[in-house]
C-alpha cells in the first residue's frame, strides 16, 4: 500500500483529501504545517507528497525544495492562491483548488507508477 503525506492547514480539506485517498487504497499521513511535514517525511516511509502551496509557516514551493533535499518522491501541489502563476520547480504537478478528485487520484497513480 502506497503512503501519501498530505500537507494542508485547513482541517476540512485535509480530512476530505485523506478520505478520498484512503477510499482509493492509499495510506495517509497528515501534517498541517511545513515543519510537521518535514519531521514526518524524515521519519516515515512516504511514496508521494500532496501539499498545499499556502501553508502557515512556509510556502509550499519552499517546502517542496526542502523535501527534495531529504529524499526524491513525487510531489503534487495544490493551490487556491490566484497569485501563483506557475508550478514551483520542485513540484511535479500543480492543481488549482478546487481540485477534481478523479483527476487527482489518476495523476497520483500515474506518478507512483513512473516512480517505481
pLDDT tens-digit readout, 28-82: 999 999 999 999 999 999 999 999 998 999 999 999 999 999 999 999 999 886 6
Residue-wise pLDDT for 85-109, tens only, equals: 678 889 999 988 888 999 999 999 9
Domains: count for the chain: 1
Q: Which domain holds residue 35?
A: 3-115
pTM equals: 0.94
Q: What is the mean pLDDT of residues 7-35?
A: 96
Residue 26: pLDDT over 90: yes
CA-CA-CA-CA torsion sign (93, 14, 84, 103): positive
* CATH number of the domain bearing residue 36: 3.40.50.2300
Amino acid at each position: 500500500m502506497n503512503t501519501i503525506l498530505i500537507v494542508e492547514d485547513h482541517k476540512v480539506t485535509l480530512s476530505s483529501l485523506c478520505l478520498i485517498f484512503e477510499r482509493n487504497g492509499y495510506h495517509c499521513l497528515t501534517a498541517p504545517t511545513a515543519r510537521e511535514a518535514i519531521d514526518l517525511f524524515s521519519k516515515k516511509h512516504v511514496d508521494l507528497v500532496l501539499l498545499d502551496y499556502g501553508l502557515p509557516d512556509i510556502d509550499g514551493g519552499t517546502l517542496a525544495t526542502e523535501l527534495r533535499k531529504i529524499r526524491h518522491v513525487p510531489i503534487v501541489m495544490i493551490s487556491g492562491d490566484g497569485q501563483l502563476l506557475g508550478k514551483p520547480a520542485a513540484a511535479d504537478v500543480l492543481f488549482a483548488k478546487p481540485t477534481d478528485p478523479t483527476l487527482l487520484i489518476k495523476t497520483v497513480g500515474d506518478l507512483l507508477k513512473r516512480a517505481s
